[in-house]
């Protein structure tokens, strides 16, 4: 009985550690240098814990790269006026944000310039900061 109790405690500790690891915040991103990507949206993944924009954008040598751009959670985006249709596949957009520290094609989004010139942020889909 004592072994089962200890096994249950150990399992709960592993579960908590996995949840903490899964929510990494912005530690994986170089938050000191904002950069931009101009490319074509492949998909807008409206899922937890963070909505993700998948975009094809050229690198410095002109080679196309598949980028994953992390935004806020769908719940926070929805409160700011976003929907799962705010960013449409095939749209040519420019995303401003912070690249991953590991040189992988990942970014944390700060704002998007939409095809019509509108600028939106995770905090306000109706923003126009031009």
pLDDT digits (tens, 9 = 90+) for 68-104: 999 999 999 999 999 999 999 999 999 999 999 988 9
Integer angstrom CA distances of residue 45 from 15, 19, 34, 62, 117? 25, 21, 23, 26, 22
Q: Which two tokens stand for residue 33?
A: 């240098």
Strand ranges in the chain using DSSP code E only, listed in sequence order: 29-45, 52-58, 64-70, 92-100, 106-113, 119-120
pLDDT tens digit string along 5-64?
A: 555 555 555 444 444 445 557 788 888 999 999 999 999 999 999 999 999 999 889 999
- What number of other Cβ atoms are within 10 A of residue 30's Cβ? 16
Instruction: For residue 98, report the phi and psi dihedrals to the nearest 5 degrees.
Output: -120, 125
Q: Is 117 left (phi over 0), alpha (psi -120 to 50) or beta?
A: left
pTM score over 0.85: no
Structure tokens that stand for 123 in this block: 């905090």
Q: Which CATH number fits domain 27-120: 2.60.40.10, 2.40.50.1010, 1.25.40.340, 2.60.40.3710?
A: 2.40.50.1010
């Amino acid at each position: 009985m004592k072994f089962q109790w200890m096994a249950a405690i150990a399992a709960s500790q592993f579960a908590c550690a996995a949840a903490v690891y899964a929510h990494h915040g912005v530690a994986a991103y170089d938050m000191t240098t904002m950069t931009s990507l101009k490319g074509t949206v492949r998909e807008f993944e409206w899922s937890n814990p963070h909505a993700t924009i998948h975009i094809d954008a050229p690198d410095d040598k002109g080679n196309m790269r598949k980028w994953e751009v992390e935004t806020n959670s769908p719940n926070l985006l929805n409160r700011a006026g976003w929907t799962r249709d705010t960013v449409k596949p095939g749209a040519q957009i420019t995303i401003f944000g912070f690249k991953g520290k590991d040189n992988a094609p990942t970014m944390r989004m700060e704002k998007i310039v939409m095809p019509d010139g509108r600028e939106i942020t995770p905090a306000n889909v109706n923003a126009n900061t031009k």
